[in-house]
Amino acid sequence: MDFSTLRNLISRYCTGEENWVDNRTVYIGHKEPPPGAEAYIPQRYPDNRIISSKYTFWNFIPKNLFEQFRRIANFYFLIIFLVQLIIDTPTSPITSGLPLFFVITVTAIKQGYEDWLRHKADNAINQCPVHVIQHGNVVRKQSRKLRVGDVVKVKEDESFPCDLILLSTSRDDGTCFVTTASLDGESSHKTLYAVQDTKAFNTEEEIDTIQATIECEQPQPDLYKFVGRINIYLERDEPIARPLGSENLLLRGATLKNTEYIYAVAIYTGMETKMALNYQSKSQKRSAVEKSMNSYLIVYLCILISKALINTVLKYAWQANPNRDEPWYNQKTETERQRHILIRAFTDFLAFMVLFNYIIPVSMYVTVEMQKFLGSYFITWDDEMFDEELGIGAMVNTSDLNEELGQVEYVFTDKTGTLTENNMEFIECCVDGHVYVPHAICNGQVMAGATGMDMIDSSPSAESKEHEELFFRALCLCHTVQVKEEETVDGIKRGIHQGKATSFYISSSPDEVALVEGMKRLGFTYLRLKDSHMEILNREDEIERFELLEVLNFDSVRRRMSVIVRSSAGEYFLFCKGADSAIFPRVVSGKVEQVQARVEHNAVCPGGCMDAYEPYKKLSPIETSILLGATAVEDRLQDKAADTIESLHKAGMKVWVLTGDKMETAAATCYASKLFRRSTQILELTTKRTEEQSLHDVLHDLSRTVLRHHGSMTRDTFSGLSNEFQDYGLIIDGATLSAVLKPPVEGNSGANGGNYKEIFLEICRNCSAVLCCRMAPLQKAQIVKLIKASKEHPITLAIGDGANDVSMILEAHVGIGVMGKEGRFRLHDSIHIIPKFKHLKKMLLVHGHYYYIRIAELVQYFFYKNVCFIFPQFLYQFFCGFSQQPLYDTAYLTLYNISFTSLPILLYSLIEQHINMDILRKDPSLYRDISKNSLLRWPIFIYWTCLGVFDAVVFFFGAFFLFDNTTFTSNGQLMTTNTQMMFGNWTFGTLVFTVLVFTVTLKLALDTHYWTWINHFVIWGSLLFYVIFSLLWGGIIWPFLNYQRMYYVFMQMLSSGPAWLSIILLIMVSLLPDVVKKVLCRALWPTTTERIQKRNPDRYYEGVLRFNQDSLLEGAQSSSEA
């Protein structure tokens, strides 16, 4: 539990505010209520400090150590280290303690640095100036000193310092506009309202006279829910009580827009604000590579236990032979002989565990963390993923899931703002069946300077002309658009006359702005809303005024908005605007057939249009519902979106579009983006069809259809677009999806009581693309969760740009945020961010491919080199009487994974590129070679383990044979007794260790597909470092050592010609099987990647070299500039 939270709970308890109290009382301006009113109970709330850091100066060490030792590998090595301290073990505790200390220290430094950055950011926020009203004056305070009940003044473009209740604004109507992009991803303007009885208080002196209390709920994280009440005390006995809702609540992190200033009272501060309660901890998702690592770790732990158990049993079996002449140095002391045999056996078992514990690669975890952290910069440095229009590039908020980018099987994408530009453009309207289009159209795109419309059919009649103007007025009145305050009516009129297309409008809905601007080109300009009157500039440059009586805002249930207005002539009108499904059933008269025909024509247009329909009622004793017309607003497809989807298909991924739009519009976008092709057979699972048939029958019909061509074999995700299969596409709407996901009725096992999920998944598996329309945000997440939980457990990716996409982005294995117009996802640490949808292609096909190849090789190589390292130690026990004698010196045991072999594999895992990136981009099918975690499957793991065992056997028995042979001399003569003493245990172990270091390093060099000066420096430098260290370690008498067993051993070994020959020979024999295997596999069973490498060697090497050097230079420049 966070200490600040505990402190707050204790403070509340001490002041009488127990946890079970579900509301709080806030005294505005800290003023006591008048005598005779409610009792004044002073309450303590937390201050306004934001604490996003994890540690403090005094709890960093214990808390960080606790968190690190929760990792199994670290905890295991801690136990081994403690065992070495407690019992007599064959190796020094330094051999386990130093590597563990290195791993813990590096990780602690990394986490400490990240937390220091969080502290720095917290201090910058907490020290921001805030303007507080005290005794009728504005006082400047630091944000952290703000208290519940303080009245603050916030100016335009400033962020709210805490959660506030709006009291008054600079606007006469008591409204203000905010953006909440940092909270929910929405950058559109939202309208909030001041308390009705306080909105007239517009000065500090007037605000200071307010005497009121607020009763509201306790802090909770829901951004869209708030319940409260304000009690305003006047001269009367009873206070005025007004309800408060989310429309009165200003959230911390939101920004004030298009409003000069506001006054508001603080109700939630610090860590109790909704923004703080919505802080998401770093994603706990685990990648497929990490799961494979943990599985391999369990296998190697079992191998370790088996080795220790075998050696323990064999030791006592060997000692039980009465005829065996045991050496004097193996004789037990009196204390040891008196111990129970089980205790002695357990102690020996632990000693063998310590001796063989290096088979568990503890340093692999810190290497993997460093590889992920440093490797993530290659995306950030990529110039091709920089968008000139937005002026920003790709960002990586977390590097934990980099390798998952190379394993994606399902892509779930939003439509509006992700596949499309979310740049609404008014392209035509239909009034009484007559169609109007803009004057200036170029390649289907409305030009910015277009100032009029053309009719593309017959001229309208007088009655139609009247309806036309009424339709245009309706679009100027039925909206929530606001005009920027700095623009005057005269300024707008001048802009109209001069033909300027500058937008003066702000709205929470971009299509509303498009409609109002479209009407401006037609001669009807919305000017402003003033004193509850909406002003319109008509074609004759006359200002028309309509009194706004009531607004019924658009919501996802009604799917329409309505306004009631009164004209200057005293006529009342009800205008309604909304989707076709919400408007047509409510229309009584008008040319419905003609308008509907045009709507259906637009629904299949390739550009993707969204329509708004305008019926109206003239409120009188005889009411009518007349359809005025329809509008078409185009949201164009993003650049290269179709090419990206086509490449993802070729890479074997299934692409699903999840959108809230209607089916016709979404389907048109899918055809334009090549998600659906002309050859695609569309299967519909919609409300319209389920009304004609039962859901059970429709699902089974579709299932029979898709399985007709495939038989009992389902289409595999990576069968791609093979001609063997009919290409199917599925369309499903939100209502039908709810029915499909609805759990079966208990006790009803009939035809209609079954679980439809499996049938639905069976249909989807055999479809190359799926379109889900009319989706609610929760349904998007449910779809992703359903696919994740299917029997194949595929890797999923979700990409979107708005707040309604956050749920599916967090649900998917990999979440990608698009920096669209709806927000920038600054609070969601579980996702990567790209400027445009087209950048997803390179992120997956190039960066994802490289990330997976590199880390998969790193994992397999770490386990391989540790098998090579420790298996000779296991074999050596059969030749030393199971005495737990170590084969290697303590220094070699300690530095093997830290210094001698760590840097080459780290560099390899950062810059290795087995194939040119241009080829990866142009041939997406190469992505299939690494799909389904192909490089970390069990057969490949077994191969690497067996290769390590083979090399270890060669090291040990090769050296053993040479030592046993009398021709192994130092001067060409047969060994004398002295030379035999020189070539003893430590020389034998050093020879094995030397062959080991050179073999595993050269093995990595053989696997490297290109060379730069960095590769040469690190690989040959590591071998040179080992030689120099061994010369120094054995050539100097170190005063801090109690024994000098390695003195002159390395030099004595190198002084022998046969030793040199044996080292070279053993290295060649160890590497030979892997070389032969690679040659045969490339010749007889080459993969697609290997065939392309063979066909394009020159282009391949030139490309990878150029990318590496450019990337490193750009990274260095970026770092220096930062």
Residue ranges for the known binding site for Mg(2+) are 414, 416, 801, 805
Check whether 558 has a pLDDT greater than 90: no
Reduce the DSSP state of residue 752 to 3 states and report it: coil
Tell me how far apart the alpha carbons of residues 77 and 73 are, in angstroms, rounded to a whole number. Answer: 6
Check whether 1095 has a pLDDT greater than 50: yes
Tokens representing 904 are 């080459």
Residue 1122's pLDDT band (cuts 50, 70, 90): very low
Residue ranges for the known binding site are 414-416, 512, 554, 577, 659-661, 774, 780, 801, 804-805
Domain ranges of the chain: 3-48+146-277, 53-127, 394-419+639-837, 425-634, 859-911+935-1089
User: What local confidence, expressed as pLDDT, does residue 524 receive?
Assistant: 87
Tens digits of per-residue pLDDT, 580-630?
Answer: 666 766 665 555 555 555 555 454 444 444 445 455 555 554 455 677 788
The secondary structure of 613-672, three-state, reads EEEEEEECCCCCCEEEEEEEEECCECCCHHHHHHHHHHCCCEEEEECCCCHHHHHHHHHH
Tens digits of per-residue pLDDT, 852-862?
Answer: 999 999 999 99
User: What local confidence, expressed as pLDDT, does residue 941 receive?
Assistant: 93
What value does the mean pLDDT take over residues 502-531? 80
Check whether 36 has a pLDDT greater than 90: no
User: What local confidence, expressed as pLDDT, does residue 228 receive?
Assistant: 92
- CATH topology for 3-48+146-277 is 2.70.150
Name the more confident of 284 and 278. Answer: 278
Tokens representing 343 are 């205790």
What value does the mean pLDDT take over residues 470-474? 87
Tens digits of per-residue pLDDT, 145-193?
Answer: 999 999 999 999 899 999 999 999 998 888 888 987 667 656 668 889 9
Check whether 357 has a pLDDT greater than 50: yes
Cα–Cα nearest to 247, from 194, 323, 318, 293? 194
User: What local confidence, expressed as pLDDT, does residue 237 receive?
Assistant: 67
Residue 712's pLDDT band (cuts 50, 70, 90): very low
User: What local confidence, expressed as pLDDT, does residue 726 receive?
Assistant: 67
Residue 683 host element (H or E) = strand 681-685
CATH superfamily of 425-634: Calcium-transporting ATPase, cytoplasmic domain N (3.40.1110.10)
Residue 951's pLDDT band (cuts 50, 70, 90): very high
Task: Give percent of the chain above pLDDT 70.
Answer: 77
Tens digits of per-residue pLDDT, 289-313?
Answer: 888 888 898 899 899 999 999 998 9
Check if 3-48+146-277 and 394-419+639-837 are the same fold. no
Tens digits of per-residue pLDDT, 396-417?
Answer: 877 778 888 999 999 999 887 7
Query: The whole model's pTM is what?
Result: 0.76
Check whether 843 has a pLDDT greater than 80: yes
Residue 489's pLDDT band (cuts 50, 70, 90): low
414 carries an active-site annotation:
yes
Q: Which of 414, 511, 580, 951 is catalytic?
A: 414
User: What local confidence, expressed as pLDDT, does residue 459 receive?
Assistant: 56
Burial 339-374 (b: 16+ CB within 10 A, else e): eeeeebbebbbbbbbbbbbbbbbbbbbbbbbbbbeb
Name the more confident of 233 and 184. Answer: 233
What value does the mean pLDDT take over residues 965-976? 46
Check whether 462 has a pLDDT greater than 80: no
Tens digits of per-residue pLDDT, 638-650?
Answer: 888 899 999 999 9
Tokens representing 236 are 């009367």
Contact predicate 823/806, CB 8 Å: no
CATH superfamily of 394-419+639-837: HAD superfamily/HAD-like (3.40.50.1000)
Residue ranges for the known binding site for ATP are 414-416, 512, 554, 577, 659-661, 774, 780, 804-805
Contact predicate 382/917, CB 8 Å: no
User: What local confidence, expressed as pLDDT, does residue 485 receive?
Assistant: 55
Count of CB atoms situated within 10 Å of the CB of 566: 16
Tens digits of per-residue pLDDT, 778-798?
Answer: 788 889 999 998 888 899 999
